[in-house]
Amino acid sequence: MIEFINFYLIPGITLGSIYALGAVGVSMIFGILRFAHFAHGDLMTVGAYGALSAVWVLGVSPWLAMPFAIGFAVIAALCCDRMFYKPLRDLPTIYTVIASFGVALILRSLIQVLWGTESQVYSSGFQKPLVYFDTIRIASRHVQIISATIVITVALHLFLTYSRAGRCMRAVADDASLARVAGIDTDNIIRWTWVIGAALAAVAGVFVGLDTDVHTNLGWNMLLPMFAAALLGGIGKPLGAITGGLIIGVVEECVSYPFFGESLLSPSYKSAVAFVIMIALLLFRPQGLFRGRLL
């Protein structure tokens, strides 16, 4: 049981925290802008490399470089919306979805030109794990990632529930036309959506870099699990996306644990878990756990 907690459950919660933060943006963008944003993973990559630049140039820790990551990702998201998505907003959704694939390729290519194609790390060397009760060993970075995700989740809930901008975002997600008639500035709400989604994606990208390494396909590799998490929680339900991300992260890690003396699934195939969950949801419960918007 201790081995399960140390090497499967805690890493699963850590991975789920990363999926959760990325899935929130996917869910919010679909709920408000009504399209699947396939460049969202690459916003994670932009944020990760933004923090890496601050680590290189300023010599600060990745945590202190977080504002640079958020700034890079938010600017990239707002520029992409202004140049590529806004002109297509009145056209059928499929145009914007296809455009997001193009934006993903553009962002990835720019990253490769500016930062190169080699994998990088924020810091090297062995970090001594934290030990609890003489048996439970947790990497300090995992504690930091999980704790930060809890704080961000609480802050997001308070923002969406009690702030005027949060209430307006929920109104636009429910019915954009009615919200516009009620006097809500939908363009401003769209900007808020991009800022929040890109900021959370950037934080998730830095978390990936802290846990493993930083490379140009970092966010693209996370895209399918993030979409699966958004579907599991319910499209348009940010807190549902967080729940979905945690579930998928834990399940991905735990399916390779030998519960009955043999692994349920080889570790090399655990990434397929998100795909299986997504297909099952689309077939049997397309509204998700929190009854979100249907695709």
Give the pLDDT confidence score for residue 138 in this predicted structure: 83
Give the pLDDT confidence score for residue 154 in this predicted structure: 95
CA dist list (Å): 114 to 49, 117, 118, 119 = 10, 9, 12, 13
Predicted structure pTM score: 0.93
Give the pLDDT confidence score for residue 42 in this predicted structure: 97
Give the pLDDT confidence score for residue 246 in this predicted structure: 94
Structural domain boundaries in the chain: 2-113+137-284
CA dist list (Å): 190 to 30, 135, 243 = 11, 48, 24
Q: What is the mean pLDDT of each run of 10 residues along the chain (295 residues)?
A: 78 95 94 93 97 95 96 97 94 94 96 94 75 77 94 94 90 83 89 96 96 94 93 87 93 81 72 83 80 62
Residue with tokens 């490399």: 49
Q: With 0-12 CB in 10 A as exposed, 13-18 as middle and 19+ as buried, what is 123?
A: exposed
For residues 155, 32, 228, 5, the Cα torsion angle rounded to the nearest 10 degrees is 0
Reference 205, options 74, 78, 81; nearest CA is: 74
b or e along 216-255 (b: 16 or more beta carbons within 10 Å of the residue's beta carbon)?
Answer: bebbbebbbbbbbbbbbbbbbbbbbbbbbbbbbbbbbbbb
Contact 231, 276 (CB under 8 A): no
Q: Which helix (H) or strand (E) holds 74?
A: helix 66-80
Give me the phi and psi of 132, to 5 degrees please. Answer: -125, 135
Q: Which two tokens stand for residue 292?
A: 């979100």
Contact 257, 8 (CB under 8 A): yes
Give the pLDDT confidence score for residue 293 in this predicted structure: 62
**Local structure of residue 87 (DSSP, 8 states):** G
Contact 177, 240 (CB under 8 A): no
Give the pLDDT confidence score for residue 58 in this predicted structure: 94
Nearby residues of 246 by Cβ (< 8 Å), 6 or more positions away: 13, 16, 17, 19, 20
**Local structure of residue 85 (DSSP, 8 states):** I
Apex CA 242: angle with CA 43 and CA 274, to 5°? 75
Q: Which CATH fold topology does 2-113+137-284 show?
A: ABC transporter involved in vitamin B12 uptake, BtuC (1.10.3470)
Residue with tokens 């959370």: 200
Give the pLDDT confidence score for residue 274 in this predicted structure: 83
Give the pLDDT confidence score for residue 26 in this predicted structure: 94
Give the pLDDT confidence score for residue 261 in this predicted structure: 67
